[in-house]
Amino acid sequence: MRVVANYDTCIASGNCGHIAPNVFRNLDEHGGFVSLTTEHPPEPEWPALRRAKGLCPSATIFIDETG
């Protein structure tokens, strides 16, 4: 699995960082906007990634299930 965030559409809601903190960060020094810790998270993180994608209010998170 590969995860990508569109930094242009992020509205810094922080949902992703709360749901999948091992993959997403919403750092104060970035204005709370999303940053990724990894583009290829381990399989145990996949359910949280899918949930974060579904709850992202700005549709910023994209998941490639084949990558």
Q: What is the pLDDT of residues 10-31, one digit of tens each?
A: 999 999 999 999 999 998 888 8
Please report which helix (H) or strand (E) contains residue 50, including its range. helix 46-55
Confidence at residue 53, expressed as pLDDT on a 0 to 100 scale: 97
In order, the DSSP letters of 27-44 are: -GGGTT-EEES-SS--GG
> All domains of the chain, ordered by start, with CATH?
2-64 (3.30.70.20)
Give the pLDDT band (50/70/90) at residue 64.
very high
pLDDT at 4 over 80: yes
Whether 47 contacts 65, CB under 8 Å: no
pLDDT at 42 over 90: yes
